[in-house]
Amino acid sequence: AEAVIQLIAGVFACLCAGVLAAGVLQKAGVAAFKAPDSPANILLATLSFQGATWLLIFIFLKQHEVNWRVALGLRNVNLQKSLLLAAGVLVLVLPLILGLEQFSALVLKKIGWPLENERAVDLIVNADSLWLRVYLAFFAIVLAPVAEEFMFRGVLFQYIKQLGYPKLAWFGVSFLFALIHVNAPTLLPLFVFALVLTWLYQKTGCLLASIAAHSLFNTANLIILFTQQS
């Protein structure tokens, strides 16, 4: 319990430190941080959350004397089947998730809720350089899936389930996963997607399976986004 609390507190502290640092640098008149969507601000924001999570994961694993291969399930005897299942599940659920997003947007529009793109989508769309887009794509496909799956499926889900609250582990953690993306139209679809990722993790016993599905999901969304732009 202590290690889990330290991990969560560490991630929250790094996130707050990143927000504070960005505000201070902007107030100080540092040119690179004047615009909210500047490369410097984007780099600071991503590294203070998912980037910091990577570092804290190393510390967390070291505390438990577990290496990456074990944590990710690379020694799973059914690793290949687990990854194939992850790809197959994503192919099946992707149309459902996209459909739910359209449905959510339609309902919110009818009740007068202001519709906005997810922050990450706006950053990619408005990126003014190829290198920034490459970084954001790498972040979405590699950095974020590993950090988020380790936190939500690998730590929080397992911990709450072991406390004797399996339903809270399934639905509470999935809702929290959807909530951190701070976007109303994607709240329901991401909640459903999180449940799918949790099922996949439970089914395979391999965290890499849910990471792969998460990464493929983000890749598919990037392809759709770039196709719509062209």
Q: What is the pLDDT of residues 75-127, one digit of tens each?
A: 887 889 999 999 999 999 999 999 999 999 899 988 888 777 777 777 776 77
Contacts for 48 with CB less than 8 Å, ≥ 6 apart: 14, 15, 17, 18, 19, 21
User: 101, 179 in Cβ contact below 8 A?
Assistant: no
User: 203, 213 in Cβ contact below 8 A?
Assistant: no
Following DSSP, what letter does each residue of 40-65 receive, concatenated? HHHHHHHIIIIIHHHHHHHHHHHHTT
Q: What is the pLDDT of residues 136-147, one digit of tens each?
A: 889 889 999 999
Write b or e for each residue in 67-100: b if 16 or more Cβ atoms lie within 10 A of its Cβ, otherwise e: eeeebbbeebeebeebbebbeebbeebbeebeeb
Cα 124 to Cα 119: distance, rounded to the nearest angstrom: 9
Q: What is the pLDDT of residues 165-186, one digit of tens each?
A: 999 999 999 999 999 888 888 9
What's the predicted TM-score (pTM) here? Answer: 0.89
pLDDT of residue 152: 94
Cα torsion at 228, 126, 176, 221 (round to 10°)? 20
Give the percent of the chain with pLDDT over 70.
97
Question: Secondary structure of the chain: what % helix, strand, coil (to 5)?
Answer: 85, 0, 15
Following DSSP, what letter does each residue of 123-139 receive, concatenated? HHHH--SHHHHHHHHHI
Cα 2 to Cα 184: distance, rounded to the nearest angstrom: 33
Cα 36 to Cα 42: distance, rounded to the nearest angstrom: 8
Cα 141 to Cα 45: distance, rounded to the nearest angstrom: 17
Cα 40 to Cα 138: distance, rounded to the nearest angstrom: 16
Cα 76 to Cα 84: distance, rounded to the nearest angstrom: 14
Mean pLDDT of the residues in the chain: 88
